[in-house]
Structure 1
Amino acid sequence: MTEKSPIIIDLRFDRDSVLRALPEAFPGRPVIDMGDPENRSRDLSQAAYAVVWKPDPDLFRRASGLKAIFSGGAGVDHILSNYQLPDLPIVRFVDRSLTDRMSEWVVWQCLYHLRNGSIYTEQQRSRIWREIAEQPEARDVTVGIMGLGVLGADAAAKLKVMGFQVIGWSRSKKHIAGVETFDASGLEAFLAQTDILVGLLPLTEDTRGIYDRALFSKLSRTGVLGGPIFLNAGRGGSQKEEELAACLADGTLKAASLDVFVKEPLDRNSPLWAMPNVLMTPHAAASSDVRALFRHVEEQIGRLERGEPLQFVVDRTSGY
């Protein structure tokens, strides 16, 4: 029986999660775990596949025999923007667990702001017992999602179950049952209706810095929440953080929930840390389940080796 082609694992994930997943992954296939110091100077030229998240800068030069590259997450900008890449297919991680986790985060944040989470948290700390008399319902709030790929479409469906009015925007027209959608030409109309803006865009040259003061100023200011709210779990590079912080300080935005930042970890001197109207999570909205990632990669390698087309291949022109 011919030995299967080796696979490289170079994931800047929690090390224990990788070590727990590896023993059951890729049966019969040699695995080169770059997290093991003994492998860092190893010959990589025979490896056919690489599973990466912010890999070693020299990896793709050393692994000259690769047939495909697999991203450790849904995003691929960490690869496209930082490396000289061979002309090979790059495959995004698409999985039920990752999609569900992202939708859970989006629904959580929308409900947190709807149900006055920050006010009640502060009242608890101050030992104040006071019900907020005015409590709008989800049906009174329009959530606008920017980015209608797998993650955005799933979040839209789950927000609708909770009763929110949901609209969506993407550069090209998408069709989602029960959701009014807008394309690039309809951005201002989309923003004008939006009470809670959800950022799930990939990072491309077109989306870098798209969330700025000009955009925030076009959000609905007449909604029942008392001002627009911004959630971003897409990519940190899509937001201009100085303008975001200024808008949160002067009332252009009422509040924000942020999972991603331009630089991670977020600089300790950032004003976002101390803002009472900001809820932050450390890029944890949809952390990749490493076992699910490896199953996804195994399935795609199987397709390739059977002569079937790979799924979820990145269009390098669009960046996703």
Structure 2
Amino acid sequence: MAVHSIRLSSAEIGGLWATYLQENMAVCLLTYFLHHNKDEEIGKTLKHAYEVSDGHVKKIASIFTEEGIPIPDGFTEKDLDLTVPPLFHDLFGLSFVYSMCRMGLINTGFITSSMAREDVQDFFVKMVQENSLLYKESTTLMLSKGLYDRPPMIPYPKKVEYIEKLSYLSGFGKKRPLNVAEITEIFFNTERNYFSILLCMGLLQVIKDKEIHDYIQEGKKISEKQINTFNDILMREELLGNISTIVDVTETTVSPFSDKLVVTLFHALNAIDITMIGHALSLSMRTDLAAYYQKYILDILVYSAKGFDILVDRGWAQEPPHAPDRRDLQKLK
């Protein structure tokens, strides 16, 4: 059977390019968590996560090199200061792996569905499998340490029921109880925002640049608003709400991270958050929930633009690969 040389499509270049930057940033952050970690069990999971992300970075670099595509500029040891006291306690490193895997499963799943060339498709399928196993490992460890908070329980259904009235969609005035899809999305949205608040809390102690400090402060307020909104809904539904009791931030005021790494991380988290809230919106059939999700998508889009402005103004934003400007090429010189 003849072997044909198939060029990478735009989807494949874009998926590999974005994944390289995300996984390179993960390697940098996992290096930090591993350096300060004292918990043996968490250390094993952190090392596993590091090896997985480092393997992804090396594989994508190999593909790009073979294709003659420039490898994106990544983060290096210059973006970390391992000599300063730790900013987070060990449990936060485990929460980071869990959050990274959960968001990565969704994001990588989207990318995988756009891949066709066999080697690239195989790479992303394997990446989904590795993220799945790491997600299971981190969740199991969180459960054993009392860190994982399960979504609300409901009584098992006793029969199959059909929707009989359009009032099922109503979220204002008299409204029906939340269904299981809506409860799930509210719960994990709240969980994700608790993680964001802890991240912001720590970084606000150490970031000295006023523009970036204000940017992080605004992000913390957006997360707090989402938590208040959706916890209020759960409380009104007598589902108690999701309340974090663990604060994993130390008292250090010296940053272990470069400002570039911090703003890039927030920009990546904003993009994932928009995807996750959009997913929640697509599953929520009550109009009040839809209205809240649309509001917060808009808030995060505006907030994300501010972060992008900082990246561009500081010369930190890399331009993704793009199509040529044919009209410019067709001009007579």
Q: TM-score range by the shorter chain?
A: under 0.3
TM-score normalised by the chain length of structure 2: 0.24
TM-score (norm 1): 0.25
Higher strand share: 1
The structure carrying a bigger helix percent of its residues is 2
Greater length-normalized contact order (CA 8 Å, ≥ 6 residues apart): 2
